[in-house]
Amino acid sequence: MKRVKNVGTYPIRDPLKNLKISVKLGRPVASTGSHEDIQKFDEELIVSWQQKYFSPREKIIYRREQQSYTDLQRSYHKQLTMIKDSSTNNRLFTYVEGDEFCVQLQSPVEGGEKCCSYPSRLVTRNDMEIVSQNAKSQTCGKTHFDIVLECPTKTHMFTQHLPGKPTQVMYIMADLSDHVMDLQNGNSVSIRDEVVLCTISYDAHGILTVVPDFSSGKEYFKVESNETKNIYHYTISNESKTISDSEALKEAKLQQKIIIQKQCGLTNMIGNQFEMPEEHIFRLFVLGEIVSASSFEYTGIYVQYCLDIPQDWRAYNQKLLYGSTQISIHHSFEDREVSLFSHPIEFDLAYKPGLDKEIEQPLSMRWPILYLEVISFDFWSRSRTEGYGYVELPRTYGEHVLKVLCWRPTGESVVENLRRFFTGGTGQLEDTTFVGIPGNFQSKNLVKYGFRTQSSGTVTLRFNCVVQSWSNMHKQMRTSTDQTSENERKHVFAHLDIATVIKAYQRARTRLLETRQVVESIGKVKLN
């Protein structure tokens, strides 16, 4: 016999009332010769979700009327007294949600090689903990127990890492006792020998779990009686009704129609006023704020900012590219001096490279850079430069929190420090872009050796970026700027349409014809 799966999980979208599970139970029959034992099943039970089948023991107990019955037990008593039992199942029965049974259960094992106890010690202690928690919740709101346990017991240590019980659970059981026939005839209650054949649970996420999983073909499980040590074989199969091909096609069409209706609803909500980008343009919209500045030397600071736009970029509103925050006073926070701004900033940018460059020239795919200058202003109107910094705008959409480390230029003598302390007026940069790569820099190597600086503080920025494009051009724009010229050329020309490529081809062809005419004219001159 092949080994079968121990646990089966199935996502359920249909109502659980359509679930049908068949369980067959029987003892193996010995055969002559070298053949395997012949399997014959004596009982079969088809169970629906949370469908109750009474065991012979329950039939005797619930037929007796008692005052201590719960509402569920009273319904069982009423059901057994009004309906005459004509079922043929002697050993198979079910425990559904709400039934109380606290015996040590036994479950089949994978492959039917040996038996083990069920549930495990951890699960049993977890059930004990859940019962105790339910009892505490019913104590009229009295909080006589602590949420935090200083000295947890072993039960708590075993159960804290376990998940809670599933939303709903049911068990398919079997009574393997030899006295089951006496119980069926109404005789006195004897020793119990109940085992769990299958556990079915359904959680809040719509996942149905079957333990053990459904058997297929001639596979079966083996279980052993604790009392008589008799061996029983059983199978579990899914007997739920499946829909036909025509019904499946009809359901697929209905789902497609529902999806189209939802899309139409979203389109109606958005309307026709949704602004679309121009053709073959990568648009970057940034909403952000200058959150705070920390660890600067003087108080009463404010931040001036400007956005440097590289070639092939343009801004829809030039006035939003520069600005200044309000003056903020230091506040102590976690052993740091922090100035809060929450100053909003907004950039609406578009990128579209042109084809007016020579192919041999490397294309510079630079990204917009935000330059910051932190300045302090005190009560005596003394102004000091506290630091410079820069940051590249995010290349991806979503929220980004960035911290900009700042520095300030320092003088070469003590006089500069005295002037900064007494009168203000420290040294400043003529070109703010010198913090990064200056805009007018054309060489390949940038040397800042000998420039004296000092680390000052940190500016915190928060950006929320939106990327809009006709194609997946934003994937190309996220690549690193440290690429070769060939890769940059591919990124630039990857999003161009056929018409643009044809125009480029026509210009190249015209240039080739002009070059040919020049060569022919030179050849004629030499011949003459």
What tens digit of pLDDT does each residue of 198-211 get? 989 888 888 889 98
Q: Which residues of 224-245 are buried (b: 16+ CB within 10 A; e: fewer)?
A: bbbeeeeebbbbbeeeeeeeee
Cα 355 to Cα 493: distance, rounded to the nearest angstrom:
9
CB 118 within 8 A of CB 106: yes
Cα 160 to Cα 154: distance, rounded to the nearest angstrom:
10
pLDDT at 181: 59
| pLDDT band at 501; cut points 50, 70, 90 | low
Q: Report, as an integer, the average pLDDT of 325-335.
A: 88
pLDDT at 106: 37
Angle, alpha carbons 499-503-505 (nearest 5°): 115
- Name the more confident of 8 and 502: 8
Whether the predicted pLDDT of 30 surpasses 80: no
pLDDT at 423: 79
Whether the predicted pLDDT of 330 surpasses 50: yes
Q: Out of 383-387, 437-441, 477-481, which region has the weakest mean confidence (pLDDT)?
A: 477-481
Cα 487 to Cα 70: distance, rounded to the nearest angstrom:
77
CB 458 within 8 A of CB 296: no
pLDDT at 159: 56
Instruction: For the chain, give the percent of residues with pLDDT over 70.
Output: 70
Task: Write the pLDDT tens digit of every residue in 433-465.
Answer: 888 877 677 777 877 787 888 899 999 999 999
Burial (0-12, 13-18, 19+ Cβ within 10 Å), 126: buried
CB 162 within 8 A of CB 155: no
Task: Write the pLDDT tens digit of every residue in 76-87.
Answer: 888 887 776 555
Cα 371 to Cα 311: distance, rounded to the nearest angstrom:
17
| pLDDT band at 267; cut points 50, 70, 90 | confident
- Name the more confident of 120 and 278: 278
Neighbours of 71 (CB within 10 A): 8
- Among the listed residues 172, 10, 192, the one whose alpha carbon sits nearest the alpha carbon of residue 93: 172
Q: Out of 187-196, 301-310, 369-378, which region has the weakest mean confidence (pLDDT)?
A: 187-196
